């Protein structure tokens, strides 16, 4: 059994909507067990009218909720009966729990995960997102928002985390590239130039610099960058795709219903793949259990996807794979 803790509070949508994502995930994966962190009485009432296998879940009552207005450190100390803190502590204390899923406030998730679960191999944990590029080829961006001002050696840790992550997706010898403002080795900030030199010596399948325009072409499996550049990259991909799709629909505003339906058939399926919030979430790599963070505007579909990601990471031994990468140091 793969056991995953699912935090159902702290997102924009009510727990009774989000829980349906978890129910769908367990119904599709018979070896998945979920601990649902939320308000027990309300969840029990709601689930009384839903069909699911009772042997695959347990509701854990939480009397507190963490919001975006909570200070991360205060929340960690004071809201010990919140779904987020209580859930992370359950993860820490039970060796057989494989991971944690939340749509809570990013800052609180980052800090509480580090404080409660602890760092793996003394690295600083990084946020990573897997996107599907051209021809649906997956690639990951590390870091995309946790570590803003980074020294060069941090990028080597990001590469190790990303390589381990891509290995859980079945990519055997992932290529690694540094995000930069030109593909030539001499391009980049001082830190990127230094990171480039370090990465060349570390035994990675390192392919050099990658530019923003090639990232989606899938020219590298792991794109390493600081959390500032990674965030700019991730969000501009998301924002650009959104504007392109919106503009296309506007261009077709005067078309017939048949033509519009046809257009939707061409573009409708593509749209979600450029929005990582729809597809899943960011993974906090480098803590002792996989933590998957969905967006605050998450729906039951987000919870379904994030639970599946956490399940996959636990099943494919992310934490062991990360340790292996760090042992090569």
Strands 282-285, 222-224: pairing kind: unpaired
Between 216 and 287, name the residue whose CB sits nearer to its own copies: 216
What gap in Å lies between CA 186 and CA 262, rounded to an integer?
47
Q: Is the peptide bond before 143 cis (omega within 30 degrees of 0)?
A: yes
Q: Which of 164/237 has CB closer to its own copies?
A: 237
- Regarding 63 and contact with its own copies (CB under 8 A), the answer is no
Applying CB under 8 A, among 133, 162, 208, 294 the residue interacting with its own copies is 133
Q: Nearer Cβ to its own copies, position 137 or 315? A: 137
- In the bound state with its own copies, the residue whose beta carbon lies nearer, of 143 and 325, is 143
Residue 216: which of 319, 103, 139 has the closest Cα?
Answer: 139
* Shortest distance, position 226 Cβ to its own copies, whole Å: 8
Q: Which of 30, 242, 328, 329 binds its own copies (CB under 8 A)?
A: 242
Q: 150: closest CA among 128, 125, 176?
A: 125
Distance between CA 162 and CA 325 in Å, rounded? 10
Query: For the window 102-121, what string marks contact with its own copies as x by the rule CB under 8 A?
Result: --------------------
Q: How many residues interact with its own copies (rule CB under 8 A)?
A: 55
Is residue 264 close enough to count as binding its own copies by CB under 8 A? no
Among 30, 77, 134, 328, contact with its own copies (rule: CB under 8 A): 134
Q: Which is nearer to its own copies, 191 or 202 (CB)?
A: 191
Which residues ranging from 189 to 208 are in contact with its own copies (CB under 8 A)?
Answer: 189-190, 192
Q: What span, in angstroms and rounded, lies between the C-alpha atoms of 33 and 148?
A: 35
Of 67-86, which residues contact its own copies (CB under 8 A)? none
3-state secondary structure of 86: helix
94 counts as binding its own copies under rule CB under 8 A: no
Could you tell me what percentage of the chain is helix, strand and coil, using 3-state DSSP and rounding each to the nearest 5? 50, 20, 35
**Strand 282-285 vs strand 126-132: parallel, antiparallel, or unpaired?**
antiparallel
Query: Using an 8 Å Cβ cutoff, are 66 and 38 in contact?
Result: no
Q: Rounded distance, CA 161 to CA 190, Å?
A: 23
Cα separation, 91 vs 88, in Å, equals: 5
Which residues pair with residue 132 across a beta bridge? Answer: 138
Q: Which is nearer to its own copies, 273 or 315 (CB)?
A: 273
When the beta carbons of 118 and 239 are compared against its own copies, the nearer one is: 239
Residues engaged in binding its own copies (CB under 8 A): 133-134, 145, 148-149, 179-182, 188-190, 192, 211-217, 225-229, 231-248, 251-252, 255, 259, 262-263, 265-267, 269-270, 274
């Amino acid at each position: 059994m793969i056991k995953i803790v699912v935090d159902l509070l702290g997102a924009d949508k009510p727990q009774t909507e989000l829980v349906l994502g978890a129910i769908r995930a367990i119904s599709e994966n018979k070896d998945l067990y979920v601990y649902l962190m939320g308000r027990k009485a309300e969840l029990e009432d709601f689930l009384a009218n839903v069909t699911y296998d009772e042997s695959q879940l347990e509701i854990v009552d939480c009397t507190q909720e963490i919001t975006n207005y909570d200070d991360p450190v205060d929340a960690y100390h004071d809201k010990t009966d919140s779904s987020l803190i209580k859930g992370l502590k359950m993860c820490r204390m039970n060796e057989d729990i494989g991971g944690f899923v939340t749509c809570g406030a990013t800052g609180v998730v980052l800090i509480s995960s580090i404080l409660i679960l602890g760092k793996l191999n003394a690295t600083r944990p990084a946020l990573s997102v897997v996107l599907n590029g051209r021809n649906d080829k997956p690639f990951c961006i590390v870091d995309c928002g946790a570590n803003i001002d980074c020294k060069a050696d941090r990028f080597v840790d990001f590469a190790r985390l990303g390589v381990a992550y891509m290995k859980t997706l079945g990519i055997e010898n992932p290529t690694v590239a540094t995000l930069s403002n030109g593909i030539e080795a001499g391009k980049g900030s001082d830190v990127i130039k230094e990171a480039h030199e370090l990465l060349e010596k570390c035994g990675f399948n390192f392919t050099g610099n990658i530019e923003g325009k090639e990232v989606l072409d899938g020219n590298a499996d792991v794109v390493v960058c600081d959390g500032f550049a990674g965030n700019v990259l991730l969000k501009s991909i998301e924002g650009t795709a959104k504007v392109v799709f919106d503009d296309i629909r506007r261009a077709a505003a005067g078309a017939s219903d048949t033509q519009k339906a046809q257009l939707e058939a061409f573009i409708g399926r593509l749209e979600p793949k450029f929005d990582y919030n729809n597809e899943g979430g960011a993974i906090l790599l480098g803590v002792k259990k996989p933590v998957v963070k969905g967006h605050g505007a998450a729906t039951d579909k987000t919870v379904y996807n994030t639970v599946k990601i956490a399940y996959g990471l636990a099943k494919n031994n992310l934490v062991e794979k990360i340790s292996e990468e760090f042992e090569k140091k």
